[in-house]
Homo-oligomer: A and B are copies of this chain.
Amino acid sequence: MDSTLAMVEGEGRQRILAAAEKLFSDKAFDAVSMNAIACEAGISKANIYHYFPNKDTLYLAVLRVASHNLRAVLNEAVSAHGSVLDVLRHFARNHLQALLNRPQLVRLVWREILERGAPRAQEFAEQGFADMFSALVDVLKLGQSRGELRHDFDPALVATLLLGANVFFFQSRDILRHYPPITFADDPAGYDAGIVEILLRGLVPAPS
């Protein structure tokens, strides 16, 4: 009565959320009609309004769960062990892989970041950022205090550089693939390996 009922109760709601997430991740807010969502969910449009008072609330709910899920997925990438260098290597690869594994969530949240004038839910996006950033910065600081990394660079700047490299790769992958000199468009692991290697040669103290 409780568990099965709860699942059945939430089924309709979740079907709507799933359909909305799919559509909202492909097209912008105004480009997705409530009719399309209802059709995708296999229910009637009026039924949506039984669960959500209006379109904005539904969109916000989608963004909330998407941000939450994305945050969880990305935070998994942080977990690592061994030397700071290895942690960085693993983080880069796992982070990019997490992005590529959930392209819908990433596009959904990132679109919200880029949209102007309407900070519908920037807080969600910022949360995901905060976790990534603080975790990365901590790792870099640890490397500095351990002497594995140089002391004369800003950890936050390197974190930005690393995150940006992955996000940029995710965003412009389709375009990068069209350029002959680029061989890593379909090899994210190789891309991150190269990126980190280049960074490390600059971060590791010179052998002198």
The verdict on A18 contacting chain B, using a C-beta distance below 8 Å, is no
The DSSP consensus for interface residues of chain A is helix
A53 to chain B, nearest CB (A): 21
Q: For the complex, give the distance between the alpha carbons of A165 and B29 in Å.
A: 28
The contact size tier of chain A is 35 or more
Closest B residue to A208 using CB positions: B207
Copies in the complex: 2
Q: A82 an interface residue at 8 Å Cβ cutoff? A: no
In this assembly, does A7 line the interface, its C-beta being within 8 Å of a C-beta of chain B? no
Seen from chain A, the residues whose Cβ lies within 8 Å of a Cβ on chain B are: 25-31, 107, 110-111, 113-117, 122, 125-126, 129-130, 133-134, 137, 150, 153-158, 160-161, 163-165, 167-169, 171-172, 174-176, 178-179, 181-184, 191, 194-195, 197-203, 206-208
Closest 4 pairs between A and B when the two form their complex, measured CB to CB: A164-B168, A202-B202, A201-B202, A28-B28
27 of the cross-chain contacts (CB-CB < 8 Å) are A25-B116, A26-B117, A27-B116, A28-B31, A28-B115, A29-B31, A107-B114, A107-B116, A114-B114, A126-B178, A133-B182, A150-B201, A157-B184, A157-B194, A157-B195, A157-B198, A160-B168, A161-B198, A164-B165, A164-B168, A167-B168, A198-B199, A199-B202, A200-B202, A201-B202, A201-B203, A206-B206
